[in-house]
Structure 1
Amino acid sequence: MSDWDEAYAAYRGPDGGGISDRTGQAEAFDAIGGRYDEAFPHKEGQVTAVTRLLAELPPKARVLDVGCGTGVPTARQLVAAGHRVVGVDLSEGMLELARVNVPEAEFHQRDLATLRVGGPEGLGHFDGITCFFTLLMLPRSEIPYALRQFHQLLKPGGALALSMVEADLDDAEIPFMSHFIRVSGYLREELSQVVREAGFEILAEDLHSYAPARADAPPEHQLFLNCRRT
């Protein structure tokens, strides 16, 4: 069985049931809306990771922002650099804000585990992908599959910038900004291994300690990886 087949089997689960139900996740972020940017106003690690990504992109590159949220700062940063941005998010409430904040970009409501190159809702190929704090919304069994999807969506040699919160968690329910969401995480070495096994070379790694502005959003250690499709 190939690595891709193994990732797909894990994604399907032992009963072939497909991706987990993330309706509650979407509803939580619909309700949180613009308060997310209030709670996380300073995103230096994210901005730095995008700056590194920009150095890897050709002029007027096509970039996919997975879990784009309100479009700030990533989609806005990419558009300001002259690139064509497609943003996807599970939360329609977040997308409404993103369309206002970054009208130059194109936005779609999609689950990141269902992204495809071709087909009726296919997105085509991209020069770069950003995915900040979005993989943590998946059970660990689905994360390798999602990364393989990114590999398929990227052109050969394409750039990937991603981040997760460092934590030894798998689909655990936690309180977040007066709501409950389910999250997963890896320790630093584990995340690097999962990313490499999905077909990426890691070009840079950063670890940031972050204290959100709101008391109901706990401090966290943020992992940022800049990668290239091999």
Structure 2
Amino acid sequence: MPLDRTGQAEAFDAIGDRYDEAFPHKEGQVAAAAWLGETLSEKARVLDLGCGTGLPTALQLAEAGCEVVGVDLSDRMVTVARENVPTGTFHRADIADLRPAGPLDLGRFDAVTAFFSLLMLPRAEIPLALRTIHHVLVPGGLLALSMVEADVDDFSIPFIGSTIRVSGYLREELREIVEAAGFRVVEESSYSYAPATADVPPEVQIFLRCRRNP
């Protein structure tokens, strides 16, 4: 499948630190990362997919004693994440780079976070991305995932002064896709969220806490 990331990385390069200003409160994300920190053993390896600026997730997990590795498509986001979380390791890469026999082998992880990163993909790629996450997790490993509830596919929207393309699912379909990729959903929660910027509309955020099937 040919990958089309046209404009996606460039948009987040332009957004930079303004992302955290536009999304200042991340209760669902903080709660999901806290669940990982409480569940995982000390020194557990955690992969933060779409790490952004490293805040709050990578920093939160690093402070919980985890070995944090972050991946993001945006050079600017990776640079900021390295500044915000000096104990973490961050790579400018696409999730496709982590596939079996892909160009970036980071080893196996005890947990993966994917907070609003898979929504940057067309729907056709999301099942494969979930299988890639399944591949990099150890058996029984944990996945903390969030998406915006929306019935859209590769849909262009204005976003903090730039334009990005996003995909989404209604919650039952999201659960079905995650379970089909080899995960068991152990908890689901949702939040109504109003970003602190006029060009991003209010949204419903779905958080799934999952465990990789053996």
TM-score tier, shorter chain, comes to over 0.9
- How far is 1:71 from its partner? 0.1
* Deviation digits for residues 150-202 of structure 1 (CA, Å, limit 9, x no counterpart): 00000000000010000000011111112111100000000000000000000
Q: Does the alignment pair 1:153 with 2:136? A: yes
- 1:214 and 1:78 mapped to 2: Cα distance? 27
- 1:53 and 1:76 mapped to 2: Cα distance? 13
- Does structure 2 conserve the Cα–Cα contact (< 8 Å) formed by 1:56 and 1:159? no
Cα separation, partners in 2 of 1:102 and 1:149, compared to 1, 3 Å? same
Q: Does the alignment pair 1:223 with 2:202? A: no
- 1:123 and 1:207 mapped to 2: Cα distance? 31
- 2:170 aligns with 187
- Does structure 1 conserve the Cα–Cα contact (< 8 Å) formed by 2:96 and 2:102? no
- What's the Cα RMSD here? 1.1
User: Unaligned stretches of 5+ in structure 2?
Assistant: none
Normalised to the residue count of structure 1, the TM-score between the two structures is: 0.90
- Does structure 1 conserve the Cα–Cα contact (< 8 Å) formed by 2:109 and 2:141? yes
* Deviation digits for residues 98-121 of structure 1 (CA, Å, limit 9, x no counterpart): 010001000001111321366652
- 1:64 aligns with 47
1:174 maps to a residue whose letter is I
User: Unaligned stretches of 5+ in structure 1?
Assistant: 1-11, 13-17
Q: Does the alignment pair 1:202 with 2:185? A: yes
- Does structure 1 conserve the Cα–Cα contact (< 8 Å) formed by 2:150 and 2:170? yes
Q: Does the alignment pair 1:122 with 2:105? A: yes
Alignment coverage as a number of residue pairs:
213
- 1:149 and 1:81 mapped to 2: Cα distance? 25
- 1:66 and 1:23 mapped to 2: Cα distance? 19
- 1:29 aligns with 12
- Does structure 2 conserve the Cα–Cα contact (< 8 Å) formed by 1:116 and 1:123? no
- 2:194 aligns with 211
1:229 maps to a residue whose letter is R
- 1:106 and 1:220 mapped to 2: Cα distance? 31
Normalised to the residue count of structure 2, the TM-score between the two structures is: 0.97
* Deviation digits for residues 44-76 of structure 1 (CA, Å, limit 9, x no counterpart): 100001111223312210000000000000000
- 1:179 and 1:118 mapped to 2: Cα distance? 34
Cα separation, partners in 2 of 1:42 and 1:109, compared to 1, 3 Å? same
* Deviation digits for residues 8-37 of structure 1 (CA, Å, limit 9, x no counterpart): xxxx2xxxxx22x21300000000000000
Q: Does the alignment pair 1:168 with 2:151? A: yes
- 1:57 and 1:117 mapped to 2: Cα distance? 25
5 Å matches for 1:93-112?
93-112=76-95
